[in-house]
Amino acid sequence: MNLDKVTVVVPCYNQAKYLDEALQSIVNQTHGNWECIIVNDGSPDNTEQIAQHYVEKDVRFKYFYKENGGLSSARNFGIEKSNSNFILTLDSDDKYDSSFMEKALVIFEQNSEIGVVSSWISRFKDDKEIAIIKPNGKTIEDFLFQNACNGTSLFRKKCWLEVGGYDENMKNGYEDWDFYIRVCSFGWQVYVIPEPLFYYRQHTFSMRLDAYANHDVAIKKYLYSKHKVLYLNHYDKMIGHFLHTIDLEKRNVLKTKNKIDYKLGSFILKPLRMIKSIIKWR
Outline where the chain has alpha helix (H).
16-27, 47-57, 71-80, 100-110, 140-143, 157-163, 175-185, 207-210, 216-226, 228-233, 235-257, 260-281
Strand 189-201 to 154-156 pairing? unpaired
Three-state SS annotation for 209-235: HHHHHHHHHHHHHHHHHHCHHHHHHCH
Q: From first to last of the 282 residues of the chain, give the pLDDT tens digit.
A: 567 999 999 999 999 999 999 999 999 999 999 999 999 999 999 999 999 999 999 999 999 999 999 999 999 999 999 999 999 999 999 999 999 999 999 999 999 999 999 999 999 998 899 999 999 999 999 999 999 999 999 999 999 999 999 999 999 999 999 999 999 999 999 999 999 999 999 877 566 667 778 889 999 999 999 999 999 999 888 888 778 778 777 777 767 666 655 555 565 655 656 556 655 555
Helix axes 175-185, 216-226, angle to 10 degrees: 20
CA–CA gap between residue 166 and residue 43 (Å, rounded)? 20
Is the CB of residue 61 less than 8 Å from the CB of residue 32? no
pLDDT the model gives residue 4: 94
User: Pairing between strand 154-156 and 95-96?
Assistant: unpaired
Q: What is the DSSP letter of 28?
A: T
Whether the CB-CB separation of 177 and 147 falls below 8 Å is answered with yes
Condensed to tens digits (0 to 9), the pLDDT of residues 15-36 reads 999 999 999 999 999 999 999 9
Q: Residue 18 CB: number of other CB atoms within 10 A? A: 17
CB-hemisphere CA count at 13 Å for 74? 28
